[in-house]
Chain A
Amino acid sequence: MRPDHRAAGLSDAEYGEIIRTLGREPEHAELMILGVMWSEHCSYKSTRRLLSSLPTSGEAVVQGPGENAGIVDIGEGWGIAFKVESHNHPSAVAPYQGAATGVGGIIRDVLAMGARPVALLDGLCLGGQSCPEAAALADGIVKGIAGYGNAVGVPTIGGKTLYDGCYNSNPLVNAMCLGLVPLDGIVSSRTARPGQLAVLIGSRTGRDGIAGAAFASSGLADDTRSSRPQVQIGDPFVEKLLVECCLEIHSKGLIVAMQDMGAAGITSSSSEIAAKSGTGIRINADLVPLREEMEPWEIALSESQERMLLIAEEEALEEIGSIADRWQLDWAVIGEVTDDGLFVMTKGGREVVSLPAEMVGGGCPSVQWPSRKPSGGVKGRGVPSGLLDPPETARCLSTILEDPNLAERSRIYRQYDYMVQTNTVVPPGNSVSIFRVRENRSFVAVTMEVDPWKCSLDPFAGAAETFLKALRPLWVSGAKHLGMTNCLNFPSPEDPENHWILERSVSGLAAVARDLACPVVSGNVSLYNESPSGKILPSPLVAVVGLQDCNSPPLRDSATLEAGSVFLVGDTQGTLGGGAFSRIITPGAEHNPGDYVPLKEKDFMERALKTVRKEAAAAGRAIAGGGLMTSLAKMCIKADIGIGLDSAVLDSDPECLFGEWGPRAVYLVPERSTELFLSCWEGFPVRRIGEITPGGLTLDGHEMLPEETRAEKAGRK
């Protein structure tokens, strides 16, 4: 029976291209392989052109996109390798294993750079809390991340979690890993030479996760249970052994090139090494350690977890083998690097696959989907929002604080070991996550953001604001950004309106990356996030890595202070569009998105960094979700302090009190530092809006934060 190319996931045009290139029809195994490797997940065919518009180079960039992870320079010969990757579809089907293997996969991506994994973060977009299905998925996802991350011994130091009904049956799980690597010890996947051997180390290959990449490249079916065989099973203990084993082999200088086996397993790892190195590779399927009898194409595409592919010289084999044996890991030479440019797989002495390596590991033609601006209009219209008296302000604030999206997340992050390795300086539950690097005595700060509501209101400004929401808290904490990684979570690009939104979102990210010199060093794309019950909101997720030397300690986002001033820096007025106030208090009302003004952001950055350098404040918090009042409430709750606000210097409209967007922050400043603080912010809007008091958050003497709310939110009740 001739396999149908469409069933393999290839379009008629792509199939025609394959026949033209090969000069023949592909064999069954070849067709299955190309179907997976030319899937969106592996090939980025719909977004390659778009992604090329993102700035990728900069002062600190050691390795940009194109490798398993990007690397930035943190000084004294050390680098941080990092990347975020989605595991959305698997987590929708089997939440525990889907999320767990997402963590495992991103750890191996960082390991493949020769880096020791030192921190994890997770971006979770979960369904509405009133939906039982979504709640079950959310619970499984969190347990999966905990189960894998805790056991593998890499701390989960932060991330981002939000809730919206659009994720009810299509949750997003974006896992990020950071690794520490000596700059002279970076491993590449483009350095293989003919005659060298391909060594597989790790778990035996089985029939799990076959063609998972293709599954991730289409919408979810109604009955997701039928997709379970396409989800992989994780074994964090083997992963731990694999990390230690590969780093030990690498420390002996025995690795020529390395690639993790993620999506499309042996096929992607070996063909990508060959394509990037400009060589061929010949894999003997008979040599692959198997758990069960498998067809050649299944061996080629299995996504069994916890496997790495190493390219090494023959002389190194004995030592590699003895190290792998000591770690009690299976290993085998499964092939060799050739000079014919072909990706060949043999079984029983017969060639079952013989394709140009470039065609498999990087040759999928780009697809240009049509774009159309959504007809309903993307921007909201400005609606005058009226004024709020203090009792109304208090009611709005307590309603906003009740919203799951504004609540604190200790129920989740307490399930993650965020301290293992003993370098976590600022743990989850803070605006920024920070770990210490002993090797060069520095602090590495990480933030993660996703804001689907602002992106659906205006994809350009919304994506830019998402990026800025990740940057501002870094600056306020005292860290200068080095680079970013992102995950573009969107519905099907084949819908012209979706595609237009995707394009505009990428433009927004590119603008900020360029204007503020925060290059993109790695990333991932996850399209087709839709199910029979609907599609997700545009959800580009951004994570930024920043650096601070250890001379000035990071500025915290709250502090227990007996007395002092509260300052607002930035515009008095924020903007309501896509923010918590419009979503929670006035649903249905349309508000404009904010404007992205690069110069203002730069001015803010310079002053925020100076404030920490000069130790001019006791605490600082970039204003984000829920605006000024929410930020102040969180400061009060966290440090158990009171703040008395002076209504004479504040406006009483929701734009001022609850508006978001743009560079704004609140600082707690001891009296003795007032002058120093003001000198740091010279030339930028800054005003004293209140003072620290013994208790309560008051506006004109009205209590904004009843004691019950305070105790409950602080977890004291």
Chain B
Amino acid sequence: MTDLVWHEHTTLPRDTGLVVLPGGFSYGDYLRCGAIAAKSPIIDAVIKHASSGLPVLGICNGFQILTEIGLLPGALLANTSLDFICDFCHVRVEREDTPFTGHYRKGEVLRIPIAHYEGRFYLPEEQLRALEEEGLVVFRYCSPEGVTGEDFTPNGSPNGIAGIINRKGNVLGMMPHPERATESLLGSSDGAPLWASVNSWIRGRLGV
């Protein structure tokens, strides 16, 4: 069951398993993306949910909001092309041991859309190295064959970073849209296993 939660509310529905911060243009994003949403009343409840170890997923603008809240490190800057980019791209699954990726295999290549202007992940070099060393990158842009590199990174993100997770492993932020890739009629169903993964994880954890 899925509930929409109004931004001015201060509590999540009882027994919430997964919190999704979806894509969009929160409050118009006229300031830094996600900066105002990070101050909206519901956010405290999201932080509480995350600190209890339950999964939080930020997609696109939701990823930007997670970095603004501080649940994930870094920031999302304008694409190097300075254009909004809407397109299918390929990402490689770097970890299969998270609540969100259990139904994938490590190294698997997904065809999945992006639609953003600010999707270039940024962290100061040293922290970026630490992030990589700790294995917190979950998705990386790549070629259809799984080769990573600048040529296959549409927005200029360093190391082709498309999605990262926190150390605790329950807060994932990603620029690609898994919710737009759940039906082959619309071009791809490669995002569907992500939802199945998190569903299984929650059922296992809550014993339902």
Residues of chain B contacted by A417 (CB below 8 angstroms)? 84, 86, 115
Residue numbers in A under 8 Å from B85 (CB-CB): 414-415
Partner of A425, one of B23, B84, B86, B186: B186
Task: Kindly report which residue of chain B lies nearest to residue A411, judged by CB atoms.
Answer: B83
Which of A236, A414, A418 contacts B83, CB < 8 Å?
Answer: A414
Collect the chain B residues with CB atoms within 8 Å of residue A153's CB: 24-25
Distance A418 CA – B29 CA, assembled complex (angstroms): 19
B30, A418: Cβ atoms closer than 8 Å: no
Are B25 and A150 touching (Cβ within 8 A)? yes
A237 and B113 form a contact (CB under 8 A): no
Query: Is B87 an interface residue, CB under 8 A from the partner?
Result: yes
Give chain B residues whose Cβ lies under 8 Å from the Cβ of A416.
Answer: 84, 86
Residue of B nearest to A328 (CB): B8
B residues near A146, Cβ cutoff 8 Å: 84
Q: Report the minimum CB–CB distance from B72 to chain A (whole Å).
A: 23
B25 and A151 contact, CB distance less than 8 A: yes
Chain A minimum-CB-distance residue to B6:
A326
Q: In the complex, which residue of chain B has the Cβ closest to the Cβ of A428? A: B86
- B28 with A418: CB separation less than 8 A: no
Query: How far does the Cβ of A312 sit from chain B's closest Cβ, in whole Å?
Result: 24
Contacts of A424 in B (CB 8 A): 186
* Contact assessment for A151 and B28 in the assembled complex, using a CB-CB cutoff below 8 Å: yes
Interface string of A140-153 (1 = CB under 8 A from B): 00000010001101
- A236 to B87, alpha carbons, bound, how many Å? 22
Q: Which residues of B contact A235 (CB under 8 A)?
A: 28
Interface check B185, CB cutoff 8 A: yes
Q: Is B106 positioned at the interface, with any CB of A under 8 Å from its CB?
A: no
Chain B 98-137, CB within 8 Å of chain A: the 1/0 string?
0000000000000001010100000000000000000000
**B28 lies within 8 A of A419 (CB):** no
Cβ contacts B38-71/A at 8 Å (1 or 0 each): 0000000000000000000000000000000000
Q: A422 at the A/B interface (Cβ < 8 Å)?
A: yes
Any A CB within 8 A of the CB of B96: no
Asked whether A237 lies within 8 Å of B30 as measured between CB atoms, the reply is yes
Contact with A along B1-45 (1 / 0, CB 8 A): 000000000000000000000011101111000000000000000
Are B84 and A419 in contact, with the CB atoms below 8 A? no
Contacts of A282 in B (CB 8 A): none
A352 at the interface (CB under 8 A from B): no
B158-190 at interface with A (beta carbon < 8 Å): 177, 179-180, 183, 185-187
**Nearest CB in chain B: distance from A290 CB, A:** 22
Closest B residue to A553 by beta carbon equals B185
Q: In the assembled complex, which residues on chain B have CB atoms less than 8 Å from the CB atom of A415?
A: 83-86
Contact status B28-A150, CB under 8 Å:
no
Q: Is A329 an interface residue (CB 8 A)?
A: no
Q: Which residue of A lies closest to B24 (CB)?
A: A153
Q: Does A420 contact B (CB under 8 A)?
A: yes
Complex Cα spacing A436 to B187, Å: 13
- Chain A residues 394-446 with CB under 8 Å of chain B are 410, 413-420, 422-425, 427, 436
* A104, chain B: closest CB distance, angstroms: 13
Residues of chain B with a CB closer than 8 A to A236's CB: 25, 28
Most chain B CB within 10 A, of A240, A410, A420, is at A420
A410 to B30, CA, bound (A): 26
The interface size of chain B toward A, counting residues with CB under 8 Å, comes to 22
A419 close to B27 (CB less than 8 A)? no
* Nearest CB in chain B to that of A152: its residue: B25
Shortest beta-carbon distance from A422 to chain B in Å: 6
Contact of A422 among B28, B117, B179 (CB under 8 A): B179
* Contact A237/B180 with A146-B84, A415-B86 known, Cβ cut-off 8 Å: no
B30 cross-chain contacts in A, Cβ below 8 A? 237
Nearest Cβ on chain A to B150's Cβ, whole angstroms: 16
Contact A419 B25 (CB under 8 A): no
Report A516-553 residues with CB < 8 Å from chain B CB.
Answer: none
Bound complex: CA of A146 vs CA of B187, how far in Å?
22
Residues in B neighbouring A436, C-beta threshold 8 A: 185-186
Q: Name the distance in Å between A467's Cβ and chain B's nearest Cβ.
A: 30
Whether A420 and B115, one on each chain, are in contact in the complex, defined by CB atoms closer than 8 angstroms, is yes
Q: What sequence of 0s and 1s flags, for each residue 228-252 of chain A, a beta carbon within 8 Å of any chain B beta carbon?
A: 0000000111101000000000000
A150-B84, A414-B83, A414-B87 are contacts. A237–B25 as well, Cβ < 8 Å? yes
Contact A237 B86 (CB under 8 A): no
Interface residues of A in 134-166 (CB under 8 A from B): 146, 150-151, 153
By a CB distance below 8 angstroms, the chain B residues around A423 are: 186
A236, A413, A414, A424 — most chain B CB neighbours (10 Å): A414
C-alpha spacing A652/B23, complex, angstroms: 54
Question: Least Cβ distance of B187 to chain A in Å?
Answer: 8
- Interface residues as binary, A295-319 with B (CB distance below 8 Å gives 1, 0 otherwise): 0000000000000000000000000
Is the Cβ of A419 less than 8 Å from the Cβ of B83?
no
User: For residue A238, which residues in chain B have a CB less than 8 angstroms away from its CB?
Assistant: 28
Question: In whole angstroms, how far apart are the Cα atoms of A235 and B27 in the complex?
Answer: 11
Q: Using CB atoms, name the residue of chain B closest to A156.
A: B86
* Chain A min CB distance to B76 (Å): 16
Q: How far is the CB of A558 from chain B (nearest CB, A)?
A: 15
A470 to chain B, nearest CB (A): 24
- In the assembled complex, the Cα of A235 lies from the Cα of B25 at a distance in Å of 12
Knowing A414-B86, A417-B84, A436-B185, the reply to whether A151 touches B179 (Cβ < 8 A) is no
A335 CB to closest chain B CB (Å) equals: 30
Chain B positions within 8 Å of A151 at CB level: 25, 28-29
Min CB distance B194 to A, Å, is: 15
Q: Please report the C-alpha to C-alpha distance between residue A420 and residue B61 in the assembled complex, in whole angstroms.
A: 13
Complex CA gap A419/B29 in Å reads 19
Residues of A near B87 (CB, < 8 A) are 410, 414
- Smallest Cβ distance from B144 to chain A, in angstroms? 11
Of all chain A residues, which has the CB nearest B83?
A415
B11 to chain A, nearest CB (A): 18
CB distance from B134 to the nearest CB of A (A): 33
Residues of B within 8 A of A413 (CB): 86
Residue in chain B with minimal CB distance to A237: B28
A236 and B25 CA atoms in complex are apart in Å by 9
B23 contacts across to A, CB distance below 8 A: 420
The CA of A241 and the CA of B41, in the complex, are separated in Å by 18
A320 to B24, CA, bound (A): 26
Given contacts A151-B28, A237-B27, A419 and B185 within 8 Å (CB-CB): no
Q: A323 CB to closest chain B CB, in angstroms?
A: 13
**Chain B positions 141 through 166: 1 when the CB is less than 8 Å from some CB of chain A, otherwise 0:** 00000000000000000000000000
Does A150 contact B27, Cβ atoms closer than 8 Å? no
Q: How far is the CB of A471 from chain B (nearest CB, A)?
A: 25
> Given A236-B28, A237-B25, are A422 and B84 neighbors across the interface (CB < 8 Å)?
no
The answer for the CA separation of A425 and B83 in the assembled complex, in Å, is 24
Which chain B residue has the least Cβ–Cβ distance from A424? B186
Q: Are A419 and B24 in contact (CB under 8 A)?
A: no
Known: A153-B24, A237-B27. A422 touches B86 (CB 8 A): no
Which of the listed residues B23, B84, B87, B185 has the most CB atoms from chain A within 10 Å of its own CB?
B84
Contact present for B115 and A150 (CB under 8 Å): yes
Q: Point out the residues of chain B lying under 8 angstroms from A419, CB to CB.
A: 86, 113, 115, 177, 180, 186
Minimal beta-carbon separation of A690 from chain B (angstroms):
29
Give A415 to B24 CA distance when docked, in angstroms. Answer: 15
Known: A146-B84, A420-B23, A425-B186. 20 other contacts (CB 8 A): A150-B84, A151-B25, A151-B29, A153-B24, A153-B25, A236-B25, A236-B28, A410-B87, A414-B85, A415-B83, A415-B85, A416-B84, A416-B86, A417-B86, A417-B115, A419-B86, A419-B180, A422-B180, A425-B185, A436-B185
Chain B: residues with CB nearer than 8 A to chain A? 23-25, 27-30, 83-87, 113, 115, 117, 177, 179-180, 183, 185-187
12 CB < 8 A contacts A-B: A150-B115, A153-B25, A240-B25, A414-B84, A415-B84, A417-B84, A417-B115, A419-B177, A422-B183, A422-B186, A436-B185, A436-B186
Please give me the 10 A-B residue pairs with the lowest Cβ-Cβ distance, nearest first: A237-B28, A151-B25, A417-B115, A415-B84, A417-B86, A146-B84, A415-B83, A419-B180, A414-B87, A422-B180
Interface set of A (CB-CB < 8 Å, partner B): 146, 150-151, 153, 235-238, 240, 410, 413-420, 422-425, 427, 436
